């Protein structure tokens, strides 16, 4: 018996899924796939084929879910990809207790219990909307995928459907990285040919007030470069006796924050400039000693640039910052010396290194065994998250080689998302045109093709990279690689397949006004997705 087909049934399913507050890193994130598993295992198909549904553990105790509906002896398989973790709910303020209760929160917003922006008030007066954390991003997409699973069990599709739903997309994509090995094992065990990955991420507005409906043939890329600044400590009474790491990091911020040199445009699609996601000194307690070390990490998005190209731009920024630091110090030292005859500024040159250069320097000085011993001890006693532990690994090497000071070290931290695109794939282009025709003819919906999904997604790990050398160029300067984090380059390359994002319509992901538009998302999208899957198997 089908349960997830009508608009009302899908709304009820979504409310049920949203009510499980599967915030990344929470206990509910562990419980969520168990709940979906329990829903699916009640279906007669999975009672007859219990081996086709499974929970797969991550190393940290979280789980991902796979559910396979096979069509006789067919090999062609379409993956329905989703994530079930959501961001936190603190932004809901006094309505935080309702953030995951769809009906109650929607009623509170519609009844005027909270003051909504006028544009949103107008919008919800002319359509059906549901509010709540995860309604748009992305439990509605999962709900539609579950609807497709029911149809697959009824034999609607001429091929296999594999549901894949993962945790941790909002932070490190640990779920998807773990899923790569699961996909490879299923491929070999069941003799599957992965023809297409259909990602159910929602439509993202391009600008405030945008009412466009989009499907995406790829996903934007992201790197998280970091800069470790190591200066020379001094007493605040003798500020020119050293070099403050906070001064160093401030010039890096000026060279990188919103820097237009990193903006990339491809066929009218444009990346935003870099922004800092972390900037702080590493002094643990207050004292009148100046900070000796500081770190900054920057969000850098890309479309077709290679990691080497981005790396070269980052090195230019790092070298320019080093020159400006030296000039600033000398200028201020000269001005101070003019007022104090006893004043003697130190002489220095700010060195700039890549992490791999720092590592090689440390190995040449202390030997590989000693460097690895120190790093292994840090791994064994680790308590930090990926970003902070990456910083700790760099700090350990710089501290060993303190004679390099003052120095700036460029490194990379997880997460990393390769930019992927299927726009030039003839199969995907034919599929896109068929979906657009079907949407307009039968659902009065205009779907515009966009090459890169702008919100970052797990498609990055199975799509075709726009820059084939990106991963290897990155790994050599990623301290955490194989030290608690592994970017499985070989698996990613072996599983490459066409990707297409076809998802629900909503607004304001990650905001307290996050909402899903029901008429298209649950009234039209399920039938359109069914047609898309049928086309995908036939094409």
Q: What is the fold, at CATH topology level, of the domain defined by 7-219+419-462+497-538?
A: Aminopeptidase (3.40.630)
By residue count, the chain amounts to: 539
- Per-residue pLDDT, 382: 96
CB 510 within 8 A of CB 137: yes
Q: What is the pLDDT of residues 26-70, one digit of tens each?
A: 999 999 999 999 999 999 999 999 999 999 999 999 999 999 999
Residues of the chain with CATH 3.30.70.360: 221-416
Judged by DSSP in three states, 62 sits in coil
Domain at 221-416, CATH from 3.20.20.100, 3.90.660.20, 3.30.200.20, 3.30.70.360 = 3.30.70.360
CB 440 within 8 A of CB 433: no
Q: Which residues of the chain have pLDDT under 70?
A: 341-343, 469-470
Identify the CA nearest to 320 among candidates 296, 352, 367, 342.
Answer: 352
Decide: residue 518, CB within 10 A, 0-12 exposed, 13-18 middle, 19+ buried.
Answer: buried
Residues of the chain with CATH 3.40.630.10: 7-219+419-462+497-538
Decide: residue 159, CB within 10 A, 0-12 exposed, 13-18 middle, 19+ buried.
Answer: buried
Interior angle at CA 363, CA 360 and CA 366, nearest 5: 150
- Per-residue pLDDT, 433: 98
Sheet of 275-281, strands arranged across: 275-281, 293-302, 221-230, 407-417, 351-354
- Per-residue pLDDT, 343: 65
CB 315 within 8 A of CB 410: yes
**Cα–Cα distance for residue pair 494/185, rounded to 1 Å:** 12
Tokens for 192? 């599957």
The predicted model scores a pTM of 0.94
């Amino acid at each position: 018996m089908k349960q997830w087909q009508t608009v009302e049934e899908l709304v009820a399913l979504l409310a049920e899924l949203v009510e499980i507050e599967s915030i990344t890193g929470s206990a509910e994130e562990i419980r969520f796939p168990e709940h979906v598993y329990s829903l699916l295992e009640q279906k007669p198909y999975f009672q007859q084929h219990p081996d086709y549904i499974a929970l797969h553990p991550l190393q940290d105790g979280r789980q991902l879910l796979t559910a396979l509906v096979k069509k006789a002896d067919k090999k062609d398989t379409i993956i329905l990809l989703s994530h079930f973790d959501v961001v936190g709910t603190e932004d809901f303020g006094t309505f935080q207790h309702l953030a995951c209760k769809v009906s109650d929160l929607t009623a509170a917003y519609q009844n005027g219990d909270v003051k909504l922006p006028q544009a949103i008030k107008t919008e919800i007066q002319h359509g059906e909307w549901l509010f709540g954390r995860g309604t748009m991003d992305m439990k509605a997409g999962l709900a539609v995928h579950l609807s497709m699973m029911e149809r697959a069990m009824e034999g609607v599709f001429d091929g296999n459907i594999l549901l894949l739903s993962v945790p941790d997309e909002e932070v490190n994509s640990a779920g998807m990285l773990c899923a790569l090995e699961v996909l490879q094992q299923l491929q070999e065990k069941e003799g599957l040919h992965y023809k297409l990955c259909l990602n159910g991420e929602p439509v993202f507005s391009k600008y405030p007030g945008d009412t466009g409906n989009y499907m995406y043939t790829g996903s934007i890329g992201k790197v998280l470069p970091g800069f470790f600044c190591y200066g020379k400590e001094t007493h605040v009474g003798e500020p020119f006796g050293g070099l403050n790491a906070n001064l160093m990091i401030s010039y890096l911020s000026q060279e990188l924050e919103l820097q237009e040199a990193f903006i990339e445009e491809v066929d009218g699609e444009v990346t935003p400039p870099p922004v800092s996601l972390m900037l702080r000194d590493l002094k643990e307690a207050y004292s009148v000693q100046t900070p000796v070390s500081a770190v900054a990490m920057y969000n850098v998005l890309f479309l077709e640039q290679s990691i080497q190209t981005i790396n070269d731009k980052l090195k230019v920024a790092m070298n320019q910052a080093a020159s400006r630091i030296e000039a600033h110090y000398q200028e201020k030292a000269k001005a101070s010396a003019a007022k104090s005859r006893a004043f003697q500024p130190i002489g220095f040159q700010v060195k700039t290194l890549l992490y791999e250069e720092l590592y090689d320097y440390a190995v040449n000085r202390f030997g590989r065994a000693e460097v690895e011993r120190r790093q292994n001890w840090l791994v064994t006693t680790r308590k930090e998250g990926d970003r902070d532990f990456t910083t700790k690994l760099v700090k350990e090497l710089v501290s060993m080689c303190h004679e390099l000071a003052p120095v700036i070290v460029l490194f990379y931290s997880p997460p990393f998302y390769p930019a992927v695109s299927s726009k030039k794939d003839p199969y995907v282009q034919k599929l896109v045109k068929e979906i657009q025709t079907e949407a307009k003819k039968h659902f009065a919906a205009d779907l515009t093709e966009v090459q890169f999904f702008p919100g970052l997604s797990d498609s990055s790990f199975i799509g075709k990279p726009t820059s084939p050398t990106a991963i290897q160029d990155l790994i050599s300067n990623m301290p955490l690689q194989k030290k608690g984090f592994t970017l499985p380059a070989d698996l990613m390359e072996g599983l490459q397949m066409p990707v297409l994002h076809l998802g629900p319509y909503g607004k304001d992901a990650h905001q307290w006004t996050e909402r899903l538009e029901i008429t298209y998302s649950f009234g039209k999208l399920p039938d359109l997705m069914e047609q898309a899957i049928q086309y995908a198997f036939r094409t």
